[in-house]
Homo-oligomer: A and B are copies of this chain.
């Protein structure tokens, strides 16, 4: 009996439940999440959900919090790695056009997250931290307004591209980013 992945003493179970919840939301939509579906997706007994989480509201809060933190971390890592303005600008383009955030799954989940956060102060706070963190990262290379503008571009282009049958390509996105970055000149 090695450290099994289930049964009593399963330290990762809580996290697996949250990930499963996000999977279920991604697959069926928050509108159709049920305990049963989450339990099944997580491979845990039904009863353990209400054992770990007081109720669905708390479970979703934690799940969306986890999502925001995960995405924020990935997003931040790319920006932090940039050493120059040039690299920072390229990182922004990469975030928009690459698969950093632009995964269909993550984007879809972010819509659900925004909707949920609007009604949930706790999650809203996490989102704000994320927003602040990404701006701070950008602010190491750009002035505050440019940081905000780039952040807005990431958001807007990502969403529109995901619905667009002919998304704005990397070259074009880069041109817009350059214009915003060089706007004082």
Contact = CB atoms under 8 A, between A and B. Distances in A.
- Number of identical monomers bound together in the oligomeric complex: 4
A119 B25 CA distance: 11
Contact of A131 (B128, B163, B180): B163
Interface in A22-58: 29-31, 33
Contacts of A108: 115, 118
6 contacts: A31-B31, A111-B112, A111-B118, A114-B163, A117-B163, A127-B163
B119 A159 contact: no
A117 B168 CA distance: 20
Contacts of A165: 128
A32 to B, nearest CB: 9
Nearest to A178: B183
Given A145-B175, A148-B157, A148-B176, 18 more contacts: A29-B118, A30-B30, A111-B111, A111-B114, A112-B115, A128-B165, A131-B160, A131-B163, A148-B172, A149-B176, A151-B156, A152-B153, A152-B155, A152-B160, A155-B155, A155-B156, A178-B183, A179-B183
A33 to B, nearest CB: 7
A131 B175 CA distance: 21
Interface of A, helix, strand, loop or mixed by DSSP: helix
Given A148-B168, A180-B176, A114 B31 contact: no
A13 interface: no
Contacts of A168: 145, 148, 152
A145 B148 CA distance: 20
Contacts of A160: 131, 148, 151-152, 155
Contacts of A151: 156, 160
Contacts of A124: 163
